[in-house]
Amino acid sequence: MNNLTRRSFVSSAAAGMTAFGLLSSTTPSAESQLVWTSSEWKLAEFNRLVNDPARIKQVYDVVQIGDGKFLNNVKNSLNGLQFGFAVPKQQIKIAVAMHGPTNMLNFDDYVWKKYQIGQWLNVKDPATGQPAEKNLFYSAAKLPTGQTASTDPDNEHSIYQAKSMQALQARGVQFLSCHTATEEQARALIHLNKLSQSPEEIVQDMLAHTVPGTLVVASMVAAIALLQAEGHYTYITV
């Protein structure tokens, strides 16, 4: 038994029950990974985040998308600490714990288009006025024609005023995705879009399309507790 993985054990058990007619048409959900164990995700990477040696560490707990306004708050934290309080940028670490609806910001345009995320979460693309078919919050905006990046924090086109996820990542922000939320959202998408796949098939498809740099944690509410208790991150929710 010790040589069996959790998934292979579940698969073997499911096969045995199927032979005896013990499983119904919901068999695919028998292998759902509703709860990740420590060996099933990048725990070591998360622990490095917890133990980051920065002087000032802050975790944002974000549930509602709210047109992405929380990204502006993160940008303001970085600027306030670096310029207003003279904390060296190397001594600042911000983690953004996104669960609930904001968890979907951790997935790329493929997921947004395929699963109609904009329509589901009522996110409108300002360019079309229609439900967004792409992740509007990840990619950094392009500079106006003829302009180069400015190092003036008061310049609205500088990196210091950029508030996309990609721009904030360039300043050291770590975005976190919740596996538990992804599992729950996969089930909602199956219902809303009348999909035939099992929940775990949807989850695996989504996880294959996280945006670059996102760290998927086993449970966000547990991750926040560890960031606070062991990492001494200050907590803020917006």
Please provide the DSSP assignment of 123-180 as one string. -B-TTTSSB-SS-TTTSPPPPPTT------TT-TTSGGG--SHHHHHHTT-EEEEEHH
Q: Residue 46: give its domain's CATH number.
A: 3.40.1260.10
Average model confidence (pLDDT) across the chain: 87
Cβ-count burial 101-124 (b if 16+ within 10 Å, e if not): bbbbbbbbbebbebbbbbbbbebe
Closest CA to 79 of 158, 191, 192: 158
Same domain, 192 and 89: yes
Same domain, 227 and 111: yes
Which residues span the domain enclosing 162?
33-237
Token digits for 66? 């709210």
Same domain, 3 and 51: no
Same domain, 214 and 119: yes
Q: For residue 68, is pLDDT > 90?
A: yes
Give how far the C-alpha of residue 154 lies from the chain's centroid of Cα atoms, to the nearest Å.
Answer: 29
- pTM for the whole structure: 0.84
Same domain, 2 and 115: no
Q: For residue 167, is pLDDT > 50?
A: yes
The answer to whether 47 touches 146, Cβ cutoff 8 Å, is no
CA 113 – CA 133 distance, rounded (Å): 4
What is the DSSP pairing of strand 56-62 with strand 234-237?
Answer: parallel
User: What average pLDDT does the segment 142-149 reach?
Assistant: 67
Same domain, 211 and 131: yes
Same domain, 15 and 51: no
Q: CA 32, 37, 40, 42: dihedral to nearest 10 degrees?
A: 130
User: What average pLDDT does the segment 138-165 reach?
Assistant: 84
Same domain, 1 and 97: no
Binned at pLDDT 50, 70 and 90, residue 13 comes out as: very low
Q: Which pLDDT score is estimated for 69? A: 96
User: What average pLDDT does the segment 67-72 reach?
Assistant: 97
Tell me how many domains the chain contains: 2
Same domain, 113 and 127: yes
Least confident of 6-20, 121-135, 137-151: 6-20
Residue 158 CB neighbour total at 10 angstroms: 14
Closest CA to 28 of 209, 187, 188: 187
Q: For residue 71, is pLDDT > 70?
A: yes
Q: Which pLDDT score is estimated for 32? A: 66
Same domain, 61 and 5: no
User: What average pLDDT does the segment 113-126 reach?
Assistant: 97
Binned at pLDDT 50, 70 and 90, residue 31 comes out as: low
Q: CA 17, 20, 22, 27: dihedral to nearest 10 degrees?
A: 50
Same domain, 152 and 187: yes
Residue pLDDT, tens place only, 169-223: 999 999 999 999 999 999 999 999 999 999 999 999 999 999 999 999 999 999 9
Tell me which amino acid residue 137 is: F
Among residues of the chain, what percentage have pLDDT more than 90? 78
Same domain, 55 and 121: yes
Q: Which pLDDT score is estimated for 74? A: 98
